[in-house]
Amino acid sequence: MGEAGPVKAVLESVGLAVEAREHRRQWSLWVPAERIVEACRLLKQDQGYRRLSFVTAVDWYPVEPRFEVVYSIHSLERNDWLRVKCRVSGENPEIDSVTGVWGAAGWYEREVFDLFGIRFRHHPDLRRIMMPQDWQGHPLRKDYPLSGAR
């Protein structure tokens, strides 16, 4: 799905793209975590990525920074999916919410918060979504056991 070259150049010109990689014809762009909202706004408004497909995370425990937050965004005009990624440290994992850019991020960020324990700053309603509200721990972390005592 690869025509992210120009997008990469635009983001690089304002210092927003740390790294860009193409794998099996799909592009991933790494953006500094503290500037994610700025980058997303630029991608949506100037580059036409109107639709947020999903937000998820990958836990690279015990590597640090431990988490990778993945935003899959889609442009109807370009007919292109693009992954934007941020690395987030395992100690007090926090990142700004992109709900102000795409409303669809609401539930996806709640899911990442619930299952990975990454807090989204300025999220309007950051509660657990899958697990019960009083649940301890975050099941999709790699140091969370599949069964048995937590």
Partner 1 sequence: MASETTAEGPRTMVLNMGPQHPSTHGVLRLVLELDGETVVKAQPDIGYLHTGIEKTAEVKTYAQAITLTDRVDYLCPMMGNLGFCLAVEGLLALEIPPKAQWMRVMLAELTRLNSHLVWLGTHAIDIGAMSVFLYCFREREEILRLFEMVSGQRMMTTYLRIGGLALEPPLGFFERVRKLADILPERIDEYENLLTENPIWKERTQGVGRISLEDALEHGMTGPILRGSGLQWDIRKAKPYSSYDRFDFDVPVRAGGDVYARYQVRVEEMRQSVRIVQQALDGMPEGAIQADAPHVVLPEREKMKTQMEALIYHFKIVTEGFRVPAGDFSQSVESPRGELAYYVVSDGGPKPYRCFIRGPSFGNLQGLPKLVEGGLLADVISSMGSIDFVLGDTDR
Q: How many residues does the chain have?
A: 150
| Residue that the structure tokens 């497909």 belong to | 53
With binding defined as CB under 8 A, does residue 126 bind partner 1?
Answer: no
The residue range among 7-15, 32-40, 46-54, 90-98 that interacts with partner 1, by the rule CB under 8 A, is 46-54
**Count of beta carbons in the 10 Å neighbourhood of residue 32:** 14
Q: What is the DSSP letter of 34?
A: G
- The Cα 52–Cα 79 span in angstroms is 13
* Site size toward partner 1, by CB under 8 A: 34
Spacing of C-alpha 128 from chain mean position:
17
The residue range among 3-11, 31-39, 88-96, 107-115 that interacts with partner 1, by the rule CB under 8 A, is 107-115
Contact with partner 1 (CB under 8 A): which of 49, 71, 108, 113? Answer: 108
Cβ 57 to partner 1 shortest distance, Å: 8
Contacts of 54 (CB under 8 A, 6+ apart): 71, 72, 108
Ramachandran angles phi, psi of 55, nearest 5°? -125, 130
With binding defined as CB under 8 A, does residue 18 bind partner 1?
Answer: no
Contact with partner 1 (CB under 8 A): which of 8, 30, 59, 95? Answer: 59
User: Which burial class, exposed, middle or buried, applies to 100 when counting CB atoms under 10 A from its CB (0-12, 13-18, 19+)?
Assistant: middle
With binding defined as CB under 8 A, does residue 31 bind partner 1?
Answer: no
Residues in contact with partner 1 by CB under 8 A are 1, 23-24, 26, 28, 50-54, 56, 58-59, 70, 72, 76, 79, 81, 83, 102-104, 106-108, 115, 128-132, 139-140, 146
